[in-house]
């Protein structure tokens, strides 16, 4: 392991800050919603080639990958390059794609979520090559991954199964508000279908209104999210998983990650006309899963809701599948299930980032003045609230993941999205140091604290 000059690493990262800012603004200028990332892929590929990456390629799904070094083992740095839409344009104070910058901020859709991470990772790899800091026997892989907003981790299922690339560990550059993140809740997308019988709206008693049935179910879903877990509660709320009585093996991990949640996110219906009784109704449920919950337990909770049982065979509860074509036209069908995962703080890859941060910046979160209201007083090592590609990288495949990325979680999917210039160089410097502090010989058993069980589907 090489002796690191931390001051020199920080100086090199700061020297590239203007370049990283320009690169991020170029990415922001290309609208890149899920399945429409082609232009931003070309932008990233061109930047990697300009910076002298040893290899740059785009795979069949449309992920762009740049490699530095020639070793057989891979350390990957991942950032997704798709964004959500802009929503109501009237809620933006500036053009979401033209963006803006001042002395501290960069504005634009994708700044925090999460093209800023790709800018930092790309220049970190450049620094490693220029400073002869690519660890012996390794190559550094920077991934601009696609379709994460649509289907977290599906891009890495493709990389793992189709491209055959299996890194030793992965740094996620999703925004972490200056913290180092070692896990997050999982999630799944549940669909509930209700059957009814239509009739003329002038005599609704002749039919069986599917919307009315669904109204009962929706109320029960809300209770599942909101209720407590007292013995007298007929629908015990999801908070129960924080209680050792209901989650004896994993309640401590659940308390670290936070309780699971569920919410109705979409509703659909069919009816012969506006003057007829609805003959079907369906809802989508966004289900966030904490430690101790499985895809099976989440489906069974919905199937056991009083209203669902009341309507019996007229109700079907299932898990969504995802099969939307990528920007290249490739389809990779997978379940809309994204496993929960947590790493041990003592894991070598987590320790590498923590030790790098302490050596470079100290043991507290840092940032520019405009970012510190969300950072002061929070532990350096923590977890995400939302979900990331790590659901596949570590949740499915057990490849160790750890997160450190520029920007703020609270900026994700919000109008007037911003990120912070200082974070770009902070992250680039940390990636360089962490990769060189990583010592796999320190591993003692599995790095994983918790991983949710997988389904029986062997999706290749």
Catalytic site positions: 82, 148
- What whole-number distance in Å separates Cα of residue 99 and Cα of residue 106? 7
DSSP state of 114: I
Take residue 297 and report the two structure tokens written for it: 């337990």
State the burial class of residue 352 (Cβ atoms within 10 Å of its Cβ: 0-12, 13-18, 19+): buried
Helix, coil or strand: residue 322: strand
- What whole-number distance in Å separates Cα of residue 223 and Cα of residue 264? 12
Q: Hey, which bits of 384-446 come out as E strands?
A: 401-403, 418-420
CA 452: distance to chain centroid? 16
- What whole-number distance in Å separates Cα of residue 411 and Cα of residue 422? 16
Which 3-state string (H, E, C) describes 155-210? Answer: HHHHHHHCCCCCCCEEEECCCCCCCEECEECEEEEEEEEEECECCECCCHHHCECH
Take residue 334 and report the two structure tokens written for it: 């997978």
Question: Nearest Cα to 160, choosing from 175, 141, 184, 182?
Answer: 141
Rg over alpha carbons for the chain, rounded to the nearest Å, is 23
Question: Nearest Cα to 357, choosing from 110, 176, 143, 118?
Answer: 176
Residue 447's alpha-carbon distances to 38, 136, 182, 362, 377, in angstroms, are 36, 23, 11, 24, 27
Q: Tell how many helices (H) and how many strands (E) occur in the chain.
A: 12, 21
- What whole-number distance in Å separates Cα of residue 48 and Cα of residue 123? 9
CA 407: distance to chain centroid? 14
208: which strand partners? Answer: 197
Residue written as token pair 């003329």: 200
315: which strand partners? Answer: 194
Helix, coil or strand: residue 116: helix
DSSP state of 8: H
Residue 422's alpha-carbon distances to 44, 47, 80, 100, 182, in angstroms, are 21, 21, 20, 15, 23
């Amino acid at each position: 392991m090489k002796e690191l000059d931390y001051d020199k690493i920080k100086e090199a990262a700061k020297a590239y800050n203007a370049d990283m800012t320009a690169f991020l603004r170029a990415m922001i200028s290309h609208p890149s919603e899920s399945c429409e990332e082609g232009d931003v892929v070309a932008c990233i590929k061109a930047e990697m080639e300009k910076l002298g990456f040893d290899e740059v390629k785009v795979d069949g799904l449309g992920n762009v990958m740049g490699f530095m070094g020639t070793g057989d083992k891979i350390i990957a740095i991942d950032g997704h390059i798709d964004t959500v839409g802009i929503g109501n344009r009237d809620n933006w104070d500036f053009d979401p794609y033209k963006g803006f910058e001042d002395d501290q901020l960069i504005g634009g859709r994708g700044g925090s979520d999460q093209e800023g991470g790709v800018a930092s990772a790309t220049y970190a790899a450049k620094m490693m090559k220029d400073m002869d800091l690519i660890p012996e026997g390794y190559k550094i892989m920077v991934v601009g991954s696609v379709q994460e907003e649509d289907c977290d981790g599906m891009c890495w299922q493709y990389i793992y199964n189709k491209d055959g690339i299996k890194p030793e560990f992965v740094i996620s550059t999703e925004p972490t508000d200056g913290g180092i993140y070692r896990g997050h809740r999982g999630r799944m997308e549940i669909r509930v279908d209700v059957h009814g019988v239509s009739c003329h709206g002038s005599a609704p008693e002749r039919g069986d209104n599917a919307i009315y049935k669904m109204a009962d179910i929706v109320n029960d879903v809300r209770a599942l999210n909101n209720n407590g877990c007292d013995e007298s509660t007929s629908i015990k709320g999801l908070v129960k998983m924080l209680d050792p009585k209901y989650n004896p093996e994993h309640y401590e991990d659940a308390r670290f990650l936070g309780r699971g949640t569920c919410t109705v996110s979409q509703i659909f219906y069919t009816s012969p006309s506006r003057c007829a009784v609805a003959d079907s109704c369906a809802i989508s449920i966004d289900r966030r899963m904490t430690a101790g919950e499985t895809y099976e337990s989440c489906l069974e909770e919905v199937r056991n809701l009083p209203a669902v049982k009341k309507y019996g065979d007229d109700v079907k509860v299932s898990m969504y599948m995802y099969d939307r074509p990528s920007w290249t036209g490739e389809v990779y069908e997978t379940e809309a299930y994204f496993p929960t995962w947590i790493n041990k703080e003592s894991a070598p890859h987590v320790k590498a980032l923590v030790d790098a941060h302490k050596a470079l910046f100290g043991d507290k979160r840092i940032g520019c003045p405009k970012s510190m209201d969300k950072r002061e007083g929070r532990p350096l090592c923590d977890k995400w609230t939302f979900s990331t590609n790590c659901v596949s990288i570590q949740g499915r495949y057990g490849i160790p993941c750890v997160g450190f990325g520029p920007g703020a979680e609270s900026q994700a999917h919000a109008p007037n999205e911003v990120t912070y210039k200082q974070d770009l160089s902070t992250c680039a410097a940390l990636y360089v140091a962490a990769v060189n502090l990583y010592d796999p010989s320190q591993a003692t058993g599995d790095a994983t604290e918790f991983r949710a069980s997988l389904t029986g589907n062997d999706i290749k």
